[in-house]
Amino acid sequence: MIEQFQAPFGPILKIVGKTIVLVGDDIDTDRIIPARFLKCVNFDNLGKSVFEDDRKNLKGKHPFDLESNKGSSILIVNSNFGCGSSREHAPQALLRWGIRAIIGESFAEIFYSNCISIGIPCYTLPKKIIKNIQENKNEHFYEIDIKESILKSKVFNLDLQIKNSSKNMFLSGKWDATSTLLENANLIEQKLNDLPYTKFNQSNELFETI
Q: Which domains does the chain have, with CATH numbers?
A: 14-174 (3.20.19.10), 176-210 (no CATH)
pLDDT value at position 175? Answer: 87
Determine which helix (DSSP H) or strand (DSSP E) holds 109, and give its type and residue range.
Answer: helix 109-117
In one letter, which amino acid is 20?
I
127-148 pLDDT, tens digit each: 999 999 999 888 789 999 999 9
Residue 62 has pLDDT above 80, yes or no: yes
For the entire predicted model, the pTM comes to 0.83
Q: How confident is the model at residue 198 (pLDDT cuts 50, 70, 90)?
A: low
CA torsion 101→107→110→116, rounded to 10°?
A: 20
Write out the E strands in the chain: 14-21, 74-76, 101-104, 122-124, 141-145, 150-152, 157-159, 198-200, 207-209
Work out the end-to-end distance of the chain between its first and last CA atoms, rounded to an integer number of angstroms: 54
| Signed CA dihedral, 151, 157, 163, 167: sign only | positive
Q: How confident is the model at residue 188 (pLDDT cuts 50, 70, 90)?
A: low
Average pLDDT for the chain? 86
pLDDT value at position 207? Answer: 47
pLDDT value at position 202? Answer: 45
